[in-house]
């Protein structure tokens, strides 16, 4: 009888390439970003300003990674997916996460996840403004510029710092955003809007936030989720359920254990976009 063994792949070399690619996309987008004050003189509208940078970033990432691994499919936020032969591996990329921040000259991130089946097997998340590179491989830990990350051990509610996103023009698409602030605010220490879901998750992994919650897209958060899990944090949807739910709905709590318990208790009954 013939026996087929599925060999575990090492993704270390792949991650090196992801990091180099994220740095290149960072340098490219920074060139656009530095000109954000041109928006005041109306050379371009905000949508064109950010979409030029977004699209160039995605093309750079796609060309570089697909050039190296031509059989792996590619899913980015800007262009239709490119399907390839390998049934298991695919890239999941957000070429600029935090587009409103970008328009306003504030921190944004570039997120590159490699998915194998339904697992993220390597992730690189880069903030070009602060030059912070977050990386993770399952079972090997999460790192920022090579330094091992641990989530905050803070269990005192009065010192919780909780991140979220706050829609402004498209409120009808995100019902309940302001009620949620009201539901969680007392007696926690702080609410912060970092302006990039990916960066918010990275901040949880390194302890700048004790937790983060939002209804957002999985391509924004795939790498951040892996970083937090590898840094000892907890990731579920708002009712404590796992990836089979939150990867579809994006209704996420990403936090240390104590903040996670607090958010589960306080978010369960507030309005949200995705049905429970
Ligand atoms: C958005 C940002 C924002 C978050 C939204 C995301 P985009 O992603 O991460 O901080 O609040 O939920 O959709 O549109 O900038 O890629």
Helices 12-33 + 46-68 axis angle, to 10: 160
Domain ranges of the chain: 12-147, 157-267
Mean pLDDT, residues 241-247 = 97
Write down the pLDDT at residue 275.
72
Supply the pLDDT for residue 189: 97
pLDDT at 214 over 60: yes
Asked whether residue 43 carries a pLDDT value surpassing 50, the answer given is yes
pLDDT band at 8 (very low <50, low <70, confident <90, very high): low
CATH class assigned to 12-147:
alpha beta
Q: State yes or no: pLDDT of 6 exceeds 50.
A: no
> Mean pLDDT in the chain?
94
- Mean of pLDDT values over 199-210: 98
| pLDDT, position 149 | 98
Mean pLDDT of 246-269: 96
Instruction: Report the nearest atom of ligand 1 relative to the CA of 167.
Output: 11
Check pLDDT > 60 for residue 11: yes
Q: Of all protein residues, whose CA lies closest to atom 11 belonging to ligand 1?
A: 165
pLDDT tens digit string along 80-134? Answer: 999 999 989 999 999 999 999 999 999 999 999 999 999 999 999 999 999 999 9
Cα–ligand 1 centroid distance for 165 (angstroms): 7
Query: Which pLDDT belongs to residue 107?
Result: 98
Closest by CA to 160, choosing from 242, 266, 37, is: 266
d(CA 15, CA 30): 22
Other C-beta atoms lying within 10 Å of the C-beta of residue 3 = 4
Residues with C-beta less than 6 Å from any ligand 1 atom: 94, 97-99, 165, 195-197, 214, 216-217, 220
Predicted confidence at residue 4, as pLDDT, reads 43
**How far is residue 72's CA from residue 74's CA, in Å, rounded to a whole number?**
7
10: which DSSP letter? P
Q: What does the pLDDT read at residue 172?
A: 78
Compute the distance from residue 80 Cα to the ligand 1 centre, in Å. Answer: 19
Who's near 268: CB < 8 A, 6+ residues apart? 238, 239
Contact at 8 Å (CB) between 109 and 29?
Answer: no
Confidence (pLDDT) at 273:
83
Whether the predicted pLDDT of 60 surpasses 80: yes
CATH fold match for the domains 12-147 and 157-267: no
Substitution candidate for ligand 1 out of 107, 197, 212 with most atoms within 8 A of CB: 197
Of the listed ranges 62-71, 174-183, 230-239, the one predicted with least confidence: 174-183
Three-class secondary structure of residue 24 per DSSP: helix
| CATH C-level class of 157-267 | alpha beta
């Amino acid at each position: 009888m013939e026996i087929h063994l599925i060999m575990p792949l090492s993704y270390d070399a792949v991650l090196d390439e992801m990091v180099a690619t994220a740095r290149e996309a960072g340098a490219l987008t920074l060139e656009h970003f530095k000109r954000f004050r041109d928006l005041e003189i109306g050379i371009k509208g905000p949508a064109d300003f950010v979409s030029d940078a977004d699209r160039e970033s995605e093309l750079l990432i796609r060309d570089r990674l697909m050039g190296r691994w031509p059989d792996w499919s590619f899913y980015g936020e800007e262009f239709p997916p490119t399907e390839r032969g390998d049934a298991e591996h695919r890239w999941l990329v957000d070429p600029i996460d935090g587009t409103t921040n970008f328009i306003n000259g504030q921190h944004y991130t570039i997120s590159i996840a490699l998915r194998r089946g339904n697992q993220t097997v390597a992730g690189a998340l880069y903030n070009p403004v602060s030059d912070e590179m977050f990386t993770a491989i399952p079972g090997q830990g999460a790192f920022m510029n090579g330094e091992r990350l641990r989530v905050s051990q803070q269990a005192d509610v009065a010192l919780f710092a909780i991140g979220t996103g706050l829609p402004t023009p498209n409120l009808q698409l995100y019902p309940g955003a302001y009620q949620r602030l009201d539901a969680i605010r007392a007696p926690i220490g702080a609410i912060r809007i970092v302006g990039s879901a990916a960066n918010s998750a990275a901040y949880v992994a390194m302890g700048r936030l004790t937790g983060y919650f939002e209804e957002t897209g999985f391509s924004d958060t795939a790498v951040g989720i892996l970083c937090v899990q590898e840094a000892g944090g907890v990731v579920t949807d708002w009712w404590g359920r796992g990836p089979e739910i939150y990867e579809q709905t994006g209704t996420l709590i990403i936090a240390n254990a104590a903040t996670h318990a607090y958010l589960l208790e306080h978010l369960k009954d507030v309005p949200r976009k995705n049905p429970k």
